[in-house]
Amino acid sequence: MRGYGFSKFTPKQLPKGGFDELLKLFLELLNYTSGDAGEALAWMNELDKQYNVTNDEYGMGNFIDDLKQKGFLEEDNKTGEFNITAKTEQSIRQSALEEIFGKLKRSGKGNHRSPHSGQGDEKNAERREYEFGDALDQIDMTQSIHNAQVNHGINDFMMTERDLEVEEMDYKTLTSTVLMIDISHSMILYGEDRITPAKKVAMALAELIRTKYPKDTLDIVVFGNDAWPIALKDLPYLQVGPYHTNTYAGLELATDLLRRRKTHNKQIFMITDGKPTCLKEGTKYYKNSIGLDRKVVNKTLNMAAQCKRLKIPITTFMIAKDPYLQQFVRKFTETNGGKAFYSSLNGLGEYIFEDYIRNRRRTVR
């Protein structure tokens, strides 16, 4: 008889001592404390009291000492406060990459391929007959000799042009991406932390590009009442503010950044959980959080259309499921000719990774 089997639910195992295991927990907590080392260590102490994450041989004091000795932590001699170092910031990015893109296979050169074959830069698995103008280094000599032996026999070896087989080549592409992150107050409303997954995705994407696609560029823009760029090293410290959502300002800044990039492939990824509610007019702000304000929406759609004219597709990752918000995103996407994903917080990283790789394989002109 078919039925169900029940067993005791065991939550994700916590570390049981040792520097490496505790370091993973520490790096994870830093995402939630926006880089505040003191608060993260305080949380670890509470976890230790409740779940015994350390043991008699290796305690929290040993862990803090090792953090300082290994260059993950600095202590202010005047205030006694702990601060994370550049090494820790990089470790947070690497940890985010391993978590979100753990199945990513490393490749040698780490450059993107476009779907266009011919006189390219990197060999692929395809073969074809030799054509006038093909470079000599493209000829697959082993297969060409095999063809000659099959076609003419091995007793009196000869090779003709028809025996030659050429390795197809792929063009390498360079891509410039701007990742826009909504830091309006709604990103932490209703008891749901939406900013931490967005930060982790940004850090993972940045680390992916740095290690696998080093010739690509990634700019990060945050937007609330205004929009401004942030450096990669600032990501762990990013926090939500008491802001409305000025999507127009974010798109305007992203477009300006991409105009300076001398690449054919340009794109904008936008992570948001809501509608545009704010515009800046001179030194004042026009705000309206009730419904979809026609003035704000129209100006935002005009910016989406301008991006389309500049051949900059916008991919929107919407982490909210309100029907009227999805209706706005559909209109926004239609205006730009881009794409939209209605993603859960858990699937956000996978969506962005897959779309990033897919977009690298085509050339936007």
Q: Confirm whether 101 is domain-assigned.
A: no
Enclosing domain of residue 277: 175-361
Classify residue 198: in a domain, yes or no: yes
Which residues are CB-contacts of 56 (< 8 A; sequence separation ≥ 6)? none
Same domain, 184 and 161: no
Grade residue 130 by pLDDT with cuts at 50, 70 and 90. Answer: confident
Residues 354 and 293 in one domain: yes
Residue 49 lies in a domain: yes
Task: Give CA–CA dist 319/188, Å, rounded.
Answer: 12
Q: Is residue 287 part of a domain?
A: yes
Residue 329 lies in a domain: yes
Boundary of a domain, candidates 139, 170, 201: 170
Give me the percent of the chain exceeding a pLDDT of 70.
82
Element holding 102 (H helix, E strand): none
For range 328-339, the mean pLDDT: 91
Q: Where are the alpha helices (DSSP H) in 52-110?
A: 60-69, 86-100
Same domain, 131 and 199: no
Domain shared by 244 and 322, yes or no: yes
- Looking at the structure, tell me whether residues 214 and 304 fall in a common domain: yes
Domain total for the chain? 3
Kindly report, residue by residue over 151-184, the tens digit of the pLDDT: 888 777 888 888 888 876 655 578 899 999 999 9
Calculate Rg over the CA atoms of the chain.
26
pTM: 0.72
Are residues 55 and 198 located together in one domain of the fold? no
Identify whether 2 is part of a domain. Answer: no
306 in the same domain as 287: yes
Q: What pLDDT was estimated at residue 211?
A: 83
Higher-scoring residue by pLDDT: 263, 172: 263
Contact in structure between 123 and 168 (CB atoms under 8 Å): yes
Closest CA to 246 of 314, 199, 294, 297: 297
Residues 40-59, mean pLDDT to the nearest whole number? 91
Task: Indicate the residue among 84, 99, 130 that finishes a domain.
Answer: 84
Residues 260 and 293 grouped into a single domain = yes
Mean pLDDT along residues 286-302: 94
Of the candidate ranges 5-19, 166-180, 184-198, the one whose mean pLDDT is the lowest: 5-19
- Give the pLDDT score at 68: 94
Mean pLDDT of 22-33: 92
Residue 183 included in any domain: yes
Confidence of residue 360 (pLDDT cuts 50, 70, 90): low
pLDDT at 114: 35
- Pairing state between β 175-182 and 82-84: unpaired
Round the average pLDDT of the chain to a whole number and report it.
Answer: 83
Burial of residue 58 (CB within 10 Å: 0-12, 13-18, 19+) is middle
Residues 196 and 334 in one domain: yes
Question: Is the confidence at residue 37, as pLDDT, over 50?
Answer: yes
Residue 144: the pLDDT is: 85
| CB-CB contact of 351 with 305 (8 Å) | no
Residue 64, pLDDT above cutoff 90: yes
pLDDT value for 98: 79
Q: What is the pLDDT of residue 104?
A: 36
Over range 181-193, report the average pLDDT.
86
Give SS3 for 283. coil
Amino acid, single-letter form, for residue 109:
K
**Cβ(343)–Cβ(94) under 8 Å?**
no
Same domain, 130 and 63: no
The domain that holds 313 is classified in CATH as: 3.40.50.410
More confident residue, 14 or 131: 131
Q: Please indicate, yes or no, whether residues 52 and 127 belong to a single structural domain of this protein.
A: no
113, 141, 170: which is the final residue of a domain? 170
Segments of the chain assigned E as strands: 73-75, 82-84, 112-129, 165-173, 175-182, 217-223, 227-230, 265-272, 278-281, 284-287, 314-318, 339-342
273 vs 361, residue with greater confidence: 273
The predicted structure's pLDDT at residue 260: 93
Q: What is the average pLDDT across 269-294? A: 92
Q: pLDDT tens for residues 114-123?
A: 333 333 444 5
Distance CA 220, CA 200 (A): 13
The DSSP result for 173-215, as a single string, is E-EEEEEEEE-SGGGGGGG---HHHHHHHHHHHHHHHHHH-TT
- Give residue-wise pLDDT tens across range 268-280: 999 888 789 999 9
Burial 64-102 (b: 16+ CB within 10 A, else e): beebeeeebbeeeeeeeebebbeebbebbbbbbbeebbe
For the segment 289-309, the average pLDDT, to the nearest whole number, is: 95
Percent with pLDDT over 90 in the chain: 43
Residue 160 and residue 215 in one domain:
no
Query: Could you tell me the sign of the dihedral formed by the alpha carbons of 354, 310, 285, 339, in that order?
Result: negative
- For residues 339 and 325, the model is more confident at 339
In a domain? residue 97? no
